[in-house]
């Protein structure tokens, strides 16, 4: 039997990203925050949250996976320990970390609330989901609600006393939400009665909170077909102030592959009373507040599961003795009968892929979260506008690239552990099962590729992409004279030129090739993802290498530069294939008649 899977918060890594790479002190000073935030505050929070993640949540991860959630007569019991942990979390005021001060929150910016998504998510993905969805619900009502709706719901969501759920999917309506059938009938008092069956709704019923505020996408009776006819409704489990339940009930739970500590619910609306949020027909626009937050958080889930799986694989590779290495990686004398796995080049390759993807994607995720803050809180309109464009371009990239790589990384972690990783008690296959959903929900990853190429690149004639390339060039220019960094800068510069040319080619061709976006979207997303990580790796290696140059470095800096080197040697070349594939017209994927598959 292996020891239970453990998780250690990567605090040095997080300090490096926030302090050294992003310069968080200066960035916080530049934002219009209600209360000043300094490094010491951030550090204290990080350490406290790391302890909570390691000591309270990580020990519940495997037991929750085994126990799952239990449905009984419409009520759902969460796994043992979840409720106590939730009460602790609320008691620390972390449910409202990102909520406005006037709602009882602490108004911390997104870049710092991302610490919750990373640390808590690595320790226990299932547990994180309850809070994560509620964050989106809070922001959605805050952005779209009337003053009365805000007063009724928002402070309860901010405190964590209530949670929320996002009810879009139905049996017939997945990606194509316009097919949904839930209907809302207007009532004389201005409210609505909703009827329908929602499927796969995360945390739509549970025992952690006093109330659950469902945000339900539905069609008002007689509204037009399709997505344009959709409206968004607030449908609470208990109407504010009422003891009895509203007409909304969990009919059962989906049996599923992972995140078993989170209930994925069938939710029956049976004449449930709801309030319109935003205006009629604006449901998707209103829902996108929640969806965009969820996409960034999902990208981070790819990182946090990969980090936890990597830690297991690395520790296993250090202690498992098999075979003799060929030298190079030192083993202390006297050598045991066999060397640890970590001496073998192929095992090192697998670990380095995980390390390079995870650290690169983490850096991108925090940078992007900072752009969200700049887009809202920076005093300068031009800075806000530019940040908003970058967020819009790179949100689908982070969501899909980090979750695809997160899944591939956890598979590699399992591979490093051999047959032991396939056994139940290794813990690693739980990460693999848990991370997998990130590629599917919040818009499946294929849809993210189409969003990137269709809306974000072709949609504005490549303007946002060129803006991003300018941002990349700023980092390249600072580093092109350094002998260690120069080859990586050159590789990245060439990729920028080739990507720009590809975008122009696709912009010209797409009008006459209706399937071009679908055929090239995935490859375009991989190219932009590899480029974004190359840019982050140059930024990180630049800091570490300059400390090495002046002999003020330690093993952490040496590891950063070595991992950057691996990234450019082994992972960056992936773009060669995608540049070729993305440039093909859509014939190759459309030629085969559907009957011949």
Write out the two tokens for 238: 């208990």
Q: DSSP string covering 39-94, please?
A: HHHHHHHHHHHHHHIIIIIHHHHHHHHHH--EEETTEEEPPTTHHHHHHHHHHTT-
What are the φ/ψ torsions at residue 322 (nearest 5 degrees)?
A: -150, 125
Can 442 be counted among the known catalytic residues?
A: yes
Q: Of the two residues 164 and 311, which places its CB atom closer to ligand FAD in the complex?
A: 164
Q: Which of 175, 176, 214, 212 minimizes the C-alpha distance to 196?
A: 214
Neighbour count for residue 293 (Cβ, 10 Å): 24
Q: Of the two residues 253 and 317, which places its CB atom closer to ligand FAD in the complex?
A: 253
Give SS3 for 542.
helix
Q: How far is residue 424 from each of residues 264, 350, 556, measured CA to CA in Å?
A: 23, 21, 33
Q: Of the two residues 125 and 578, which places its CB atom closer to ligand FAD in the complex?
A: 125
Give SS3 for 339.
coil
CB of residue 214 to ligand FAD, shortest distance in Å: 10
339-352 per-residue burial string, b: 16 or more CB within 10 A, e: under 16: bbbbbbeebbebbb
Look at the block and give the residue holding tokens 């929602």.
198
CB of residue 293 to ligand FAD, shortest distance in Å: 13
Catalytic residue of the set 118, 442, 574, 576: 442
Q: Of the two residues 136 and 360, which places its CB atom closer to ligand FAD in the complex?
A: 136
Q: DSSP string covering 217-259, please?
A: EEEETTPPSSGGGEEEEEEESS-TT-SSPPSEEEEEE---SS-
Distance of CA 480 to the CA centre of its chain: 32
Contacts 24+ apart (CB under 8 A), 365-368: 365/114, 365/118, 365/296, 365/299, 365/300, 365/303, 365/398, 365/402, 366/17, 366/18, 366/21, 366/22, 366/111, 366/114, 367/21, 367/22, 367/536, 368/296, 368/299, 368/394, 368/395, 368/398
Q: Of the two residues 174 and 252, which places its CB atom closer to ligand FAD in the complex?
A: 174
CA dihedral 202, 208, 211, 216 (to 10 degrees): 0
Using CB under 6 A as the criterion, which residues of the chain lie in contact with ligand FAD when the complex forms?
Answer: 166-169, 174-175, 200-202, 256, 259, 264, 437, 440-441, 444, 446-447, 518
Q: Which of 310, 398, 396, 387 minimizes the C-alpha distance to 361?
A: 398
Distance of CA 360 to the CA centre of its chain: 14
Q: Of the two residues 328 and 597, which places its CB atom closer to ligand FAD in the complex?
A: 597
Q: Of the two residues 133 and 308, which places its CB atom closer to ligand FAD in the complex?
A: 133
Q: Of the two residues 264 and 479, which places its CB atom closer to ligand FAD in the complex?
A: 264
CB of residue 28 to ligand FAD, shortest distance in Å: 32
CB of residue 127 to ligand FAD, shortest distance in Å: 14
CB of residue 176 to ligand FAD, shortest distance in Å: 6
CB of residue 175 to ligand FAD, shortest distance in Å: 3
CB of residue 272 to ligand FAD, shortest distance in Å: 16
CB of residue 443 to ligand FAD, shortest distance in Å: 6
Contact status, residue 539 vs residue 569, Cβ threshold 8 Å? no
* Residue 364 burial by Cβ neighbours in a 10 Å radius (0-12, 13-18, 19+): buried
CB of residue 174 to ligand FAD, shortest distance in Å: 2
Beta bridge partners of 217: 232
Q: Of the two residues 201 and 571, which places its CB atom closer to ligand FAD in the complex?
A: 201
Residue nearest to ligand FAD (CB): 174
Q: Which residues contact 236 (CB under 8 A, 6 or more apart)?
A: 153, 162, 211, 212, 213, 214, 246
Look at the block and give the residue holding tokens 């310069």.
23
CB of residue 422 to ligand FAD, shortest distance in Å: 23
Write out the two tokens for 474: 């700023």
Contact status, residue 488 vs residue 570, Cβ threshold 8 Å? no
CB of residue 448 to ligand FAD, shortest distance in Å: 9
Beta bridge partners of 214: 165, 235
What are the φ/ψ torsions at residue 242 (nearest 5 degrees)?
A: -95, 140
Q: Of the two residues 403 and 536, which places its CB atom closer to ligand FAD in the complex?
A: 403
Task: Report the helix count and the strand count for the chain, using DSSP H and E.
Answer: 20, 9
d(Cα 590, Cα 597) in Å, to the nearest integer?
Answer: 11
Q: Which residues are catalytic?
A: 442
């Amino acid at each position: 039997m292996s020891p239970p899977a453990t998780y250690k918060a990567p605090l040095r890594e997080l300090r490096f990203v926030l302090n050294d790479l992003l310069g968080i002190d200066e960035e916080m000073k530049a934002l219009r925050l209600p209360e000043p935030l300094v490094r010491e505050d951030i550090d204290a929070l990080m350490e406290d949250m790391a302890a909570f993640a390691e000591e309270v949540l990580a020990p519940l991860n495997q037991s929750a996976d085994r126990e799952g959630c239990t449905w009984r007569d419409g009520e759902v019991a969460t796994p043992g320990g979840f409720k106590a942990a939730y009460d602790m979390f609320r008691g620390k005021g972390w449910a409202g970390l990102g909520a406005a001060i006037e709602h009882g929150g602490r108004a911390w910016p997104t870049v710092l609330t991302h610490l919750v998504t990373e640390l808590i998510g690595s320790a226990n993905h299932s547990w994180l989901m309850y809070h994560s969805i509620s964050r989106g619900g809070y922001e959605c009502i805050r952005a779209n609600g009337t003053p009365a709706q805000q007063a009724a719901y928002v402070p309860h969501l901010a405190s964590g006393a209530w949670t929320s759920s996002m009810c879009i999917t139905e049996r017939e309506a997945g990606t194509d939400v316009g097919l949904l059938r839930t209907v809302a009938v207007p009532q004389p008092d201005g409210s609505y009665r909703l009827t329908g069956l929602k499927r796969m709704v995360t945390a739509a019923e549970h025992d952690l909170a006093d109330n659950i505020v469902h945000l339900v996408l539905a069609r008002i009776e007689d509204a037009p077909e399709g997505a344009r006819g959709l409206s968004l409704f607030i449908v609470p489990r208990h109407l504010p102030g009422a003891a009895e339940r509203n007409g909304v009930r969990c009919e059962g739970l989906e049996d599923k592959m992972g995140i078993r500590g989170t209930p994925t619910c069938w939710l029956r609306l049976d004449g449930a009373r709801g309030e319109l949020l935003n205006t009629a027909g604006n449901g998707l626009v209103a829902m996108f507040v929640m969806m965009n937050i969820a996409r960034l958080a999902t990208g981070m889930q790819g990182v946090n599961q990969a980090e936890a799986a990597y830690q297991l694989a690395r520790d296993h590779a250090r202690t498992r003795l098999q075979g003799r290495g060929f030298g190079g990686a030192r083993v202390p004398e006297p050598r045991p009968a066999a060397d640890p796995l970590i001496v073998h080049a192929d095992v090192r390759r697998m670990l380095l892929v995980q390390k390079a993807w995870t650290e690169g994607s983490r850096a991108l995720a925090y940078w992007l979260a900072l752009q969200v803050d700049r887009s809202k809180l920076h005093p300068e309109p031009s800075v806000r506008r530019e940040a908003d464009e970058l967020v819009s371009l790179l949100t689908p990239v982070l969501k899909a690239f980090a979750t695809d790589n997160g899944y591939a990384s956890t598979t590699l972690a399992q591979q490093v552990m051999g047959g032991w990783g396939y056994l139940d008690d290794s813990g690693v296959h739980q990460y693999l099962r848990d991370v997998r959903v990130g590629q599917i929900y919040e818009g499946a990853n294929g849809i993210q590729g189409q969003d990137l190429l269709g809306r974000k690149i072709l949609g504005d004639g490549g303007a946002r992409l060129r803006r991003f390339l300018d941002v990349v060039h700023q980092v390249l220019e600072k580093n092109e004279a350094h002998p260690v960094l120069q080859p990586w800068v050159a590789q990245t510069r060439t990729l920028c030129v080739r990507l720009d040319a590809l975008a122009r080619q696709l912009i010209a061709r797409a009008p006459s090739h209706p399937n071009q976006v679908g055929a090239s979207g995935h490859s375009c997303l991989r190219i932009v993802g590899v480029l974004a990580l190359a840019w982050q790796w140059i930024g990180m290696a630049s800091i570490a290498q300059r400390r090495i140059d002046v002999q003020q470095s330690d093993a952490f800096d040496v590891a950063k530069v070595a991992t950057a080197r691996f990234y450019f040697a082994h992972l960056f070349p992936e773009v060669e294939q995608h540049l070729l594939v993305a440039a093909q017209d859509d014939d190759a994927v459309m030629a085969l008649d559907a009957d011949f598959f």
